Structure 1
Amino acid sequence: MIFKPNFKIYKIKNLKEDLNNKMKKTVMFIACVVSSLSLATQAALPSNAKLSLDKNNVKVWTYKDSNNSVLSYKSETMFDVPIEKAVALVLDLEHAPRWAPNIAKVELLSRDDKKGEFTIYMILHFPFPLKNRDMVARGKITKDANGNISIKNKAIIGGKAKNANYVRMTNYEGDWTFQKLGPNKVKVSNAGFADPEGAIPSSVANMFVEQMPYQMLQKMKLELAKNPKLPPLPEMLK
Protein backbone atom coordinates (compact mmCIF):
# COMPACT_ATOMS: atom_id res chain seq x y z
CA MET A 1 0.00 0.00 0.00
CA ILE A 2 1.33 3.45 -0.91
CA PHE A 3 0.80 6.15 1.71
CA LYS A 4 -0.60 9.36 0.27
CA PRO A 5 -0.23 12.40 2.55
CA ASN A 6 -3.30 14.47 3.14
CA PHE A 7 -2.10 17.86 1.96
CA LYS A 8 -5.43 19.46 2.89
CA ILE A 9 -4.86 18.64 6.57
CA TYR A 10 -1.29 19.97 6.40
CA LYS A 11 -2.52 23.17 4.76
CA ILE A 12 -5.16 23.79 7.45
CA LYS A 13 -2.63 23.10 10.22
CA ASN A 14 -0.10 25.52 8.74
CA LEU A 15 -2.79 28.14 8.27
CA LYS A 16 -3.75 27.92 11.95
CA GLU A 17 -0.11 28.24 12.99
CA ASP A 18 0.32 31.32 10.77
CA LEU A 19 -2.79 32.95 12.26
CA ASN A 20 -1.58 32.24 15.82
CA ASN A 21 1.84 33.72 15.05
CA LYS A 22 0.27 36.83 13.51
CA MET A 23 -1.99 37.29 16.55
CA LYS A 24 0.99 37.03 18.92
CA LYS A 25 2.91 39.60 16.88
CA THR A 26 -0.08 41.95 16.85
CA VAL A 27 -0.53 41.67 20.62
CA MET A 28 3.15 42.38 21.23
CA PHE A 29 2.95 45.32 18.84
CA ILE A 30 0.02 46.84 20.71
CA ALA A 31 1.93 46.34 23.95
CA CYS A 32 4.88 48.30 22.59
CA VAL A 33 2.62 51.11 21.38
CA VAL A 34 0.99 51.50 24.77
CA SER A 35 4.38 51.77 26.39
CA SER A 36 5.68 54.17 23.79
CA LEU A 37 2.92 56.63 24.60
CA SER A 38 4.04 57.26 28.18
CA LEU A 39 6.10 60.36 27.31
CA ALA A 40 3.55 63.71 39.03
CA THR A 41 5.38 61.97 41.19
CA GLN A 42 3.45 58.76 40.84
CA ALA A 43 1.09 57.61 43.53
CA ALA A 44 1.77 54.41 45.43
CA LEU A 45 0.83 51.21 43.65
CA PRO A 46 -2.68 49.90 44.44
CA SER A 47 -3.10 46.79 46.55
CA ASN A 48 -4.07 44.67 43.53
CA ALA A 49 -0.82 45.42 41.67
CA LYS A 50 1.40 42.42 41.00
CA LEU A 51 5.06 42.23 40.06
CA SER A 52 4.72 40.74 36.58
CA LEU A 53 8.32 40.95 35.39
CA ASP A 54 11.70 41.37 37.05
CA LYS A 55 14.78 40.97 34.82
CA ASN A 56 17.79 42.89 33.56
CA ASN A 57 17.32 45.47 36.33
CA VAL A 58 13.78 46.29 35.12
CA LYS A 59 10.69 45.71 37.25
CA VAL A 60 7.13 45.86 35.92
CA TRP A 61 3.89 45.85 37.89
CA THR A 62 0.44 45.48 36.31
CA TYR A 63 -2.98 46.12 37.79
CA LYS A 64 -6.63 46.65 36.92
CA ASP A 65 -8.26 50.02 37.51
CA SER A 66 -12.04 49.85 37.83
CA ASN A 67 -12.34 52.97 35.67
CA ASN A 68 -10.55 51.44 32.67
CA SER A 69 -11.04 48.29 30.60
CA VAL A 70 -7.31 48.14 29.79
CA LEU A 71 -4.62 47.19 32.30
CA SER A 72 -2.46 49.85 33.89
CA TYR A 73 1.23 49.32 34.53
CA LYS A 74 4.24 50.80 36.28
CA SER A 75 7.85 50.00 35.45
CA GLU A 76 11.16 51.17 36.85
CA THR A 77 14.88 50.81 36.30
CA MET A 78 18.13 52.71 36.89
CA PHE A 79 20.50 54.28 34.38
CA ASP A 80 24.11 55.30 34.92
CA VAL A 81 23.63 58.78 33.47
CA PRO A 82 22.85 62.21 34.94
CA ILE A 83 19.16 62.85 35.53
CA GLU A 84 19.29 65.75 33.07
CA LYS A 85 20.34 63.45 30.23
CA ALA A 86 17.52 60.96 30.80
CA VAL A 87 14.95 63.77 30.94
CA ALA A 88 16.35 65.45 27.84
CA LEU A 89 15.98 62.23 25.85
CA VAL A 90 12.27 61.96 26.67
CA LEU A 91 11.70 65.65 25.90
CA ASP A 92 13.49 65.41 22.56
CA LEU A 93 10.22 64.93 20.68
CA GLU A 94 11.65 65.37 17.20
CA HIS A 95 13.84 62.30 17.55
CA ALA A 96 11.43 60.12 19.56
CA PRO A 97 10.69 57.86 16.55
CA ARG A 98 14.32 56.72 16.41
CA TRP A 99 14.05 54.91 19.76
CA ALA A 100 10.40 54.90 20.97
CA PRO A 101 8.74 51.79 19.46
CA ASN A 102 6.08 52.28 16.79
CA ILE A 103 5.89 56.06 17.02
CA ALA A 104 5.85 57.39 13.46
CA LYS A 105 5.69 61.09 14.19
CA VAL A 106 5.52 63.53 17.09
CA GLU A 107 4.50 67.12 16.46
CA LEU A 108 4.80 69.86 19.08
CA LEU A 109 1.60 71.92 18.99
CA SER A 110 2.33 74.29 21.87
CA ARG A 111 4.91 74.79 24.64
CA ASP A 112 5.18 77.08 27.64
CA ASP A 113 8.53 76.59 29.39
CA LYS A 114 7.65 78.94 32.23
CA LYS A 115 4.60 76.87 33.20
CA GLY A 116 6.16 73.57 32.17
CA GLU A 117 3.24 72.78 29.87
CA PHE A 118 3.08 71.45 26.33
CA THR A 119 0.69 69.86 23.84
CA ILE A 120 1.76 67.23 21.33
CA TYR A 121 0.25 65.31 18.43
CA MET A 122 1.39 61.73 17.73
CA ILE A 123 0.89 59.25 14.90
CA LEU A 124 1.33 55.57 15.81
CA HIS A 125 2.03 52.64 13.51
CA PHE A 126 -0.27 49.61 13.83
CA PRO A 127 0.16 46.36 11.88
CA PHE A 128 -1.95 45.59 8.81
CA PRO A 129 -4.90 45.26 8.58
CA LEU A 130 -5.38 47.59 11.57
CA LYS A 131 -5.53 51.33 10.94
CA ASN A 132 -2.83 53.55 12.38
CA ARG A 133 -3.74 55.60 15.46
CA ASP A 134 -3.25 59.24 16.35
CA MET A 135 -3.66 61.26 19.52
CA VAL A 136 -3.39 64.72 21.03
CA ALA A 137 -1.92 64.82 24.53
CA ARG A 138 -1.30 67.60 27.03
CA GLY A 139 1.80 67.37 29.21
CA LYS A 140 2.94 68.94 32.47
CA ILE A 141 6.55 69.04 33.72
CA THR A 142 7.37 69.54 37.41
CA LYS A 143 10.50 69.54 39.59
CA ASP A 144 10.43 69.09 43.36
CA ALA A 145 12.74 70.44 46.07
CA ASN A 146 14.92 67.32 45.89
CA GLY A 147 15.56 67.77 42.18
CA ASN A 148 13.28 64.93 41.08
CA ILE A 149 11.51 65.55 37.77
CA SER A 150 8.11 64.35 36.60
CA ILE A 151 6.31 64.49 33.25
CA LYS A 152 2.60 63.71 33.22
CA ASN A 153 0.63 63.32 29.98
CA LYS A 154 -3.05 62.88 29.25
CA ALA A 155 -5.03 62.62 26.02
CA ILE A 156 -7.35 65.53 25.27
CA ILE A 157 -10.27 66.11 22.94
CA GLY A 158 -9.51 68.56 20.15
CA GLY A 159 -6.25 70.36 19.47
CA LYS A 160 -5.92 68.83 16.01
CA ALA A 161 -8.50 68.06 13.32
CA LYS A 162 -9.32 64.36 12.99
CA ASN A 163 -7.91 62.49 10.01
CA ALA A 164 -10.01 59.73 8.44
CA ASN A 165 -6.84 57.69 7.88
CA TYR A 166 -6.35 57.24 11.64
CA VAL A 167 -8.31 56.06 14.67
CA ARG A 168 -8.21 58.84 17.27
CA MET A 169 -7.21 57.64 20.75
CA THR A 170 -8.77 59.59 23.61
CA ASN A 171 -8.38 57.36 26.68
CA TYR A 172 -4.71 57.57 27.65
CA GLU A 173 -2.56 58.70 30.57
CA GLY A 174 1.19 58.32 30.92
CA ASP A 175 3.84 59.43 33.39
CA TRP A 176 7.62 59.60 33.53
CA THR A 177 9.31 60.09 36.89
CA PHE A 178 13.06 60.71 37.28
CA GLN A 179 14.63 60.39 40.73
CA LYS A 180 18.21 61.60 41.15
CA LEU A 181 20.32 59.01 42.98
CA GLY A 182 23.73 60.58 42.34
CA PRO A 183 25.70 62.72 39.85
CA ASN A 184 25.55 59.89 37.28
CA LYS A 185 22.70 57.73 38.55
CA VAL A 186 18.96 58.11 37.98
CA LYS A 187 15.94 55.97 38.78
CA VAL A 188 13.41 56.10 35.95
CA SER A 189 9.77 55.10 36.36
CA ASN A 190 7.23 54.83 33.58
CA ALA A 191 3.52 54.29 34.21
CA GLY A 192 0.19 54.57 32.47
CA PHE A 193 -2.48 52.99 30.33
CA ALA A 194 -3.76 53.45 26.79
CA ASP A 195 -6.92 52.20 25.10
CA PRO A 196 -6.12 51.55 21.41
CA GLU A 197 -9.86 51.80 20.65
CA GLY A 198 -11.33 50.88 17.31
CA ALA A 199 -11.82 47.18 16.55
CA ILE A 200 -9.23 45.95 19.06
CA PRO A 201 -10.85 44.35 22.14
CA SER A 202 -9.39 45.27 25.52
CA SER A 203 -8.74 41.57 26.21
CA VAL A 204 -6.25 41.56 23.33
CA ALA A 205 -4.64 44.83 24.37
CA ASN A 206 -4.19 43.48 27.91
CA MET A 207 -2.16 40.44 26.82
CA PHE A 208 1.56 40.56 27.57
CA VAL A 209 1.27 44.04 29.11
CA GLU A 210 4.34 43.40 31.24
CA GLN A 211 6.49 43.19 28.09
CA MET A 212 5.73 46.68 26.77
CA PRO A 213 7.40 48.87 29.40
CA TYR A 214 10.29 46.43 29.66
CA GLN A 215 11.06 46.80 25.95
CA MET A 216 10.61 50.56 26.19
CA LEU A 217 13.16 50.99 28.98
CA GLN A 218 15.61 48.64 27.28
CA LYS A 219 15.48 50.74 24.10
CA MET A 220 15.91 53.88 26.19
CA LYS A 221 19.02 52.40 27.80
CA LEU A 222 20.52 51.60 24.40
CA GLU A 223 19.80 55.10 23.10
CA LEU A 224 21.40 56.75 26.12
CA ALA A 225 24.48 54.56 25.67
CA LYS A 226 24.93 56.02 22.18
CA ASN A 227 25.58 59.38 23.88
CA PRO A 228 23.25 61.30 21.55
CA LYS A 229 23.40 65.06 21.26
CA LEU A 230 20.34 66.28 23.11
CA PRO A 231 18.64 69.70 23.20
CA PRO A 232 18.93 71.80 26.38
CA LEU A 233 16.32 71.37 29.10
CA PRO A 234 13.63 74.01 29.64
CA GLU A 235 14.77 76.84 31.92
CA MET A 236 12.48 75.69 34.74
CA LEU A 237 14.43 72.40 35.03
CA LYS A 238 17.90 73.95 35.24
Structure 2
Amino acid sequence: MRTMLLLLLFCTPLSALEWQQVKIKQGIEVYQQKLPDGLLKLKAYTVTSGCLAAFEALLLDTDNADKWLSNVDSVEVLKSPSQNEHIVYTQFNAPWPIKNRDMVTYSRIFRTSNRQMQIGIRAANNEYAKRDGFIRIEHVAASWVINQRDADTISVEYQAIADPAGKIPHWLGNSVAKSNVFSTFKKMKARLKLYPCNAI
Protein backbone atom coordinates (compact mmCIF):
# COMPACT_ATOMS: atom_id res chain seq x y z
CA MET A 1 0.00 0.00 0.00
CA ARG A 2 2.87 2.38 0.82
CA THR A 3 4.40 1.74 -2.61
CA MET A 4 1.06 2.38 -4.30
CA LEU A 5 0.67 5.63 -2.34
CA LEU A 6 4.08 6.83 -3.46
CA LEU A 7 3.30 6.02 -7.08
CA LEU A 8 -0.02 7.84 -6.85
CA LEU A 9 1.68 10.85 -5.30
CA PHE A 10 4.35 10.74 -7.97
CA CYS A 11 1.65 11.01 -10.62
CA THR A 12 -0.34 13.71 -8.80
CA PRO A 13 -1.26 16.52 -11.24
CA LEU A 14 0.70 19.74 -10.92
CA SER A 15 -2.53 21.61 -10.25
CA ALA A 16 -2.98 19.63 -7.03
CA LEU A 17 0.56 20.10 -5.68
CA GLU A 18 2.37 23.25 -6.78
CA TRP A 19 6.11 23.28 -7.30
CA GLN A 20 8.10 25.58 -5.02
CA GLN A 21 11.46 26.84 -6.19
CA VAL A 22 14.31 25.74 -3.92
CA LYS A 23 17.41 26.82 -5.82
CA ILE A 24 18.60 28.18 -9.15
CA LYS A 25 22.36 28.20 -9.47
CA GLN A 26 24.95 27.33 -12.13
CA GLY A 27 22.18 26.64 -14.62
CA ILE A 28 20.52 24.08 -12.33
CA GLU A 29 16.94 24.53 -11.12
CA VAL A 30 15.63 22.61 -8.10
CA TYR A 31 11.97 22.51 -7.05
CA GLN A 32 9.97 20.74 -4.35
CA GLN A 33 6.42 19.66 -3.63
CA LYS A 34 5.44 19.14 -0.01
CA LEU A 35 3.47 15.93 0.35
CA PRO A 36 0.85 15.22 3.03
CA ASP A 37 3.06 12.69 4.83
CA GLY A 38 5.93 15.16 5.28
CA LEU A 39 8.13 13.83 2.48
CA LEU A 40 9.17 15.92 -0.50
CA LYS A 41 8.81 15.28 -4.20
CA LEU A 42 11.83 16.85 -5.85
CA LYS A 43 12.41 18.05 -9.38
CA ALA A 44 15.69 19.20 -10.92
CA TYR A 45 16.21 20.64 -14.39
CA THR A 46 19.17 21.82 -16.44
CA VAL A 47 20.34 22.40 -20.00
CA THR A 48 23.82 21.12 -20.72
CA SER A 49 26.23 19.98 -23.42
CA GLY A 50 25.68 16.38 -24.51
CA CYS A 51 23.39 14.03 -26.38
CA LEU A 52 21.01 11.15 -25.63
CA ALA A 53 23.67 8.52 -26.33
CA ALA A 54 26.15 10.18 -23.96
CA PHE A 55 23.57 10.39 -21.18
CA GLU A 56 22.63 6.72 -21.59
CA ALA A 57 26.31 5.78 -21.52
CA LEU A 58 26.71 7.77 -18.30
CA LEU A 59 23.82 5.88 -16.68
CA LEU A 60 25.10 2.49 -17.77
CA ASP A 61 28.66 3.14 -16.57
CA THR A 62 27.88 1.84 -13.09
CA ASP A 63 31.56 1.38 -12.21
CA ASN A 64 31.88 5.16 -12.13
CA ALA A 65 28.46 6.04 -10.73
CA ASP A 66 30.00 7.25 -7.46
CA LYS A 67 31.79 10.00 -9.39
CA TRP A 68 28.55 11.87 -10.08
CA LEU A 69 25.71 10.44 -7.96
CA SER A 70 25.93 12.25 -4.64
CA ASN A 71 26.60 10.10 -1.55
CA VAL A 72 26.57 6.91 -3.63
CA ASP A 73 29.22 4.39 -2.65
CA SER A 74 28.59 1.75 -5.30
CA VAL A 75 26.12 0.70 -7.98
CA GLU A 76 25.77 -2.88 -9.23
CA VAL A 77 23.53 -4.19 -12.00
CA LEU A 78 22.13 -7.43 -10.60
CA LYS A 79 20.47 -8.50 -13.84
CA SER A 80 19.07 -7.11 -17.06
CA PRO A 81 15.78 -8.71 -18.17
CA SER A 82 16.23 -6.91 -21.51
CA GLN A 83 18.59 -4.43 -23.12
CA ASN A 84 16.52 -1.55 -21.72
CA GLU A 85 15.59 -3.03 -18.31
CA HIS A 86 17.89 -3.31 -15.31
CA ILE A 87 17.65 -4.45 -11.70
CA VAL A 88 20.15 -2.32 -9.78
CA TYR A 89 21.58 -2.49 -6.26
CA THR A 90 22.87 0.82 -4.83
CA GLN A 91 24.72 1.53 -1.59
CA PHE A 92 24.70 5.03 -0.12
CA ASN A 93 27.39 6.47 2.14
CA ALA A 94 25.14 8.74 4.17
CA PRO A 95 26.49 11.81 6.00
CA TRP A 96 26.64 11.70 9.79
CA PRO A 97 24.42 11.22 11.76
CA ILE A 98 22.42 9.28 9.16
CA LYS A 99 23.12 5.55 8.87
CA ASN A 100 24.15 4.09 5.53
CA ARG A 101 21.31 3.10 3.22
CA ASP A 102 20.92 0.72 0.31
CA MET A 103 18.30 0.36 -2.41
CA VAL A 104 17.18 -2.12 -5.05
CA THR A 105 15.44 -0.66 -8.08
CA TYR A 106 13.99 -1.65 -11.42
CA SER A 107 14.68 0.81 -14.23
CA ARG A 108 13.51 0.92 -17.81
CA ILE A 109 14.83 3.16 -20.58
CA PHE A 110 12.39 4.37 -23.23
CA ARG A 111 13.51 6.01 -26.47
CA THR A 112 10.22 7.79 -27.17
CA SER A 113 11.71 9.37 -30.31
CA ASN A 114 15.12 10.11 -31.78
CA ARG A 115 15.07 13.32 -29.75
CA GLN A 116 13.76 12.12 -26.37
CA MET A 117 14.66 9.46 -23.83
CA GLN A 118 12.77 8.66 -20.62
CA ILE A 119 13.83 6.47 -17.70
CA GLY A 120 11.37 5.15 -15.14
CA ILE A 121 12.59 3.85 -11.78
CA ARG A 122 10.76 2.03 -8.98
CA ALA A 123 11.62 -0.13 -5.99
CA ALA A 124 12.34 -3.84 -6.57
CA ASN A 125 13.06 -5.03 -3.05
CA ASN A 126 12.22 -8.70 -3.65
CA GLU A 127 15.11 -8.96 -6.11
CA TYR A 128 17.84 -8.80 -3.45
CA ALA A 129 17.92 -9.70 0.24
CA LYS A 130 18.60 -7.06 2.88
CA ARG A 131 22.22 -6.74 4.00
CA ASP A 132 23.64 -6.15 7.46
CA GLY A 133 24.88 -2.64 8.14
CA PHE A 134 22.40 -0.94 5.81
CA ILE A 135 18.88 0.42 6.17
CA ARG A 136 16.90 -0.48 3.05
CA ILE A 137 15.15 2.32 1.16
CA GLU A 138 12.02 0.38 0.27
CA HIS A 139 9.79 3.07 -1.24
CA VAL A 140 11.10 5.03 -4.20
CA ALA A 141 9.75 6.30 -7.52
CA ALA A 142 11.76 8.42 -9.95
CA SER A 143 12.01 9.46 -13.57
CA TRP A 144 14.41 11.11 -16.00
CA VAL A 145 13.35 12.92 -19.16
CA ILE A 146 16.13 13.92 -21.56
CA ASN A 147 15.42 15.96 -24.67
CA GLN A 148 17.84 16.64 -27.51
CA ARG A 149 17.55 20.40 -28.08
CA ASP A 150 20.11 20.64 -30.87
CA ALA A 151 23.12 18.65 -32.11
CA ASP A 152 25.17 19.00 -28.92
CA THR A 153 22.75 20.27 -26.25
CA ILE A 154 20.26 18.38 -24.08
CA SER A 155 17.78 19.29 -21.38
CA VAL A 156 17.62 16.98 -18.37
CA GLU A 157 14.70 16.76 -15.93
CA TYR A 158 14.64 14.48 -12.90
CA GLN A 159 11.75 13.87 -10.49
CA ALA A 160 11.80 11.63 -7.43
CA ILE A 161 10.06 10.62 -4.23
CA ALA A 162 11.87 8.41 -1.73
CA ASP A 163 11.24 7.45 1.87
CA PRO A 164 14.68 7.13 3.51
CA ALA A 165 13.24 4.77 6.17
CA GLY A 166 14.63 4.46 9.65
CA LYS A 167 14.17 7.23 12.22
CA ILE A 168 15.37 10.21 10.20
CA PRO A 169 13.24 13.29 10.94
CA HIS A 170 11.61 14.59 7.78
CA TRP A 171 13.33 17.96 8.02
CA LEU A 172 16.76 16.30 8.01
CA GLY A 173 15.99 13.76 5.29
CA ASN A 174 14.45 16.46 3.09
CA SER A 175 17.43 18.77 3.59
CA VAL A 176 19.90 16.04 2.59
CA ALA A 177 17.77 15.08 -0.44
CA LYS A 178 17.70 18.66 -1.77
CA SER A 179 21.44 19.03 -1.29
CA ASN A 180 22.07 15.68 -3.00
CA VAL A 181 20.01 16.42 -6.10
CA PHE A 182 21.79 19.72 -6.71
CA SER A 183 25.20 18.14 -6.17
CA THR A 184 24.32 15.26 -8.49
CA PHE A 185 23.26 17.59 -11.30
CA LYS A 186 26.40 19.69 -10.88
CA LYS A 187 28.66 16.63 -11.15
CA MET A 188 26.54 15.13 -13.92
CA LYS A 189 27.09 18.17 -16.15
CA ALA A 190 30.85 17.88 -15.72
CA ARG A 191 30.90 14.09 -16.11
CA LEU A 192 28.87 14.06 -19.33
CA LYS A 193 31.80 15.62 -21.19
CA LEU A 194 33.68 12.32 -20.86
CA TYR A 195 31.12 10.37 -22.92
CA PRO A 196 31.18 10.92 -26.70
CA CYS A 197 27.93 11.16 -28.59
CA ASN A 198 28.70 7.98 -30.53
CA ALA A 199 29.04 6.03 -27.25
CA ILE A 200 25.95 3.91 -27.97
Q: What TM-score bracket applies, with the shorter chain setting the length?
A: 0.7 to 0.9
Work out whether 1:83 is the aligned partner of 2:17. Answer: no
Please list the CA deviations of residues 97-134 of structure 1 after superposition, one character each: whole Å capped at 9, or x if unmatched: 122121111111111335x2111011111234543111
Structure-2 residue corresponding to 1:108: 77
Work out whether 1:148 is the aligned partner of 2:113. Answer: no
1:50-129 matches, cutoff 5 A: 50-66=20-36, 68-114=37-83, 116-129=84-97
| Bigger Rg, which one | 1
Contact 2:30 2:42 in 1 (8 A): yes
Change (3 A) 1:93 1:49: same
Please list the CA deviations of residues 167-192 of structure 1 after superposition, one character each: whole Å capped at 9, or x if unmatched: 11101112111011111010001110
CA distance in 1, matches of 2:198, 2:69: 17
CA distance in 1, matches of 2:126, 2:198: 28
**RMSD (CA atoms):** 2.4
Between Structure 1 and Structure 2, which shows a larger proportion of strand residues? 2
Match of 2:129 among 152, 161, 167: 161
1:137: how far off? 0.5
1:146: how far off? 5.0
**Which runs of no fewer than 5 residues in structure 2 stay unpaired?**
1-10
1:69: how far off? 3.1
Structure-1 residue corresponding to 2:6: none
- In the alignment of these two chains, the number of paired residues is 189
Partner SS, residue 87 of structure 1:
helix
CA distance in 1, matches of 2:85, 2:79: 8
Letter in 2 for 1:103: V
Please list the CA deviations of residues 73-103 of structure 1 after superposition, one character each: whole Å capped at 9, or x if unmatched: 1111011222211222122222101221211
Structure-1 residue corresponding to 2:3: none
Contact 2:32 2:42 in 1 (8 A): yes
Please list the CA deviations of residues 178-210 of structure 1 after superposition, one character each: whole Å capped at 9, or x if unmatched: 011111010001110222111211222123654
**Which runs of no fewer than 5 residues in structure 1 stay unpaired?**
1-41, 234-238
Contact 1:88 1:230 in 2 (8 A): no
1:218-237 matches, cutoff 5 A: 218-225=186-193, 227-228=194-195, 232-233=199-200
CA distance in 1, matches of 2:95, 2:176: 17
CA distance in 1, matches of 2:98, 2:139: 18
TM-score by length of 2: 0.83
Identity %: 25
TM-score by length of 1: 0.71
Contact 2:147 2:154 in 1 (8 A): yes
